[in-house]
Amino acid sequence: MWTETIQRWQSKDGAESYEAERFHGIVGRVFHRAQCRTLRRIARLISAGTRVLDVPCGTGRMHPVLRDRGLRIVGRDVSEAMLRKAAQRSPGNGDTCLVIGDATQLPFEDCSLDGIFSIRFFMHLTSQERETILREFARISRHLIVVEYGCDSAWHKWRRAVRKVVMRLLGRRRIYPVSAPAEQIHREARAAGLRICGWRWTLRGLSESVFVVMEKKDSREATVDA
């Protein structure tokens, strides 16, 4: 199902309909706004004028938030169609640069970026894939790494089971992202040489989405309240 979805995002139609399908209904809009608000608060921890990576950037949905903070954005995505949409969002003043390619191989020098953002991606990967990508993030980042995870709990498991039944009854096909318990998220960060310095929930209690803020173990501690 995830492979099918990736193929869809590679197509012009898939890229055109990505935001409309996910973020234009009432629930989608509330979720998108909550994500923007969360990201805005985290972005304040990174100095204006510095360069950050957004991977995968998709249609550049989060770029207005990063740009408002005064950050220079490098967007990377495997889909050319998605990058074309992201380019339409870019004001063309040189503060955004888009680079096609895979998230597991990042063509950037060690410690060359001030922050890395990865949104709506990790919940589709296996633990091993996440660790590989986190190691690559740790290599190229000088400062913070912000990754959106789906964080599991008994409540979220129950909610997801009910949702699955409702969706099946409605005859809707959906991708069910993979969530990870908090201990596993800590383990993955540690394995990549990172320390978690903050958790920010997108819609606490309602959604599994959490922005996990990480930094290298050897860097000065940043403080992010929960």
Cα distances (angstroms) measured from residue 181 to each of 188, 192, 218 = 11, 17, 25
Considering the complex, what minimum distance in angstroms separates the CB of residue 108 from ligand SAM?
14
User: Would you count residue 120 as binding ligand SAM (CB under 6 A)?
Assistant: yes
CA pair distance 209, 66, nearest whole angstrom: 19
Kindly give the residue spans of alpha helices, DSSP state H, lying in 2-126: 2-10, 12-23, 26-43, 63-68, 80-89
Minimum CB distance to ligand SAM, residue 35 (Å): 7
Q: Is 56 in the site for ligand SAM (CB under 6 A)?
A: yes
Per CB under 6 A, the list member of 43, 65, 113, 121 interacting with ligand SAM is 121
Q: How far is the CB of 2 from ligand SAM (least distance, A)?
A: 8
Q: Does residue 103 belong to the site contacting ligand SAM (CB under 6 A)?
A: yes
Q: Does 82 bind ligand SAM (CB under 6 A)?
A: yes
Beta-strand relationship, 51-54 and 209-216: unpaired
Residue 78 interacts with ligand SAM (CB under 6 A): yes or no: yes
Interatomic CA distance for residues 109 and 212, integer angstroms: 24
Vertex 44 angle, CA 20 and 48, to 5°: 100
Q: Which stretch binds ligand SAM (CB under 6 A): 65-73, 77-85, 172-180, 193-201?
A: 77-85
Q: Are 145 and 214 in contact (CB under 8 A)?
A: yes
Interface contacts to ligand SAM, rule CB under 6 A: 6, 9, 56-58, 61-62, 77-79, 82, 102-103, 119-121
